[in-house]
Amino acid sequence: MPGNDRSAPPRHGEELDIEFSDALYAGPSSVYTDVVEAWQEPQALMLVGHNPMIEELVRALLGESGTAAAIPTGYPCAGLAVIDIDRSPSARASVPGRLVTFLTP
């Protein structure tokens, strides 16, 4: 992904790879879903972004009813959704995500 690659300092013996991407800031919501679909690493992926793109990503991963249940009034500023994604072929045809937790300030 284009952008400035930087590595975060080690924390508790773990080195974190952080990638900054202008495409996530300036691009359409499809950029977010493209990043999720392209992620093949076994480690977690954390995306930080802006609305309406983050809310649209949550909707794509949880479906309309899952999103309505999780965030009935819309995705709040500084909200954090933790979503497990099923990468099996059967999940691709349906809703691939399951909300694990949702934190708000």
Q: How many CA atoms lie within 13 A of 82 on its CB side?
A: 6
| pLDDT of amino acid 50 | 86
Sorting pLDDT into bands at 50, 70 and 90, what band is 10?
low
| pLDDT of amino acid 1 | 45
Closest by CA position to 22, among listed 13, 40, 35: 35
Of 8-17, 42-51, 54-63, the one with minimum mean pLDDT is 8-17
Q: Which of 21-35, 62-76, 77-91 is modeled with the greatest confidence? A: 62-76
Sorting pLDDT into bands at 50, 70 and 90, what band is 54?
very high
Name residue 81's beta-bridge partners: 102
| pLDDT of amino acid 11 | 55
| pLDDT of amino acid 21 | 85
Instruction: State the pairing for strand pair 97-103/17-19.
Output: unpaired
Helix (H) or strand (E) holding 16: none
Domain ranges for the chain, please list them: 5-103
Q: What is the DSSP letter of 83?
A: E
| pLDDT of amino acid 68 | 93
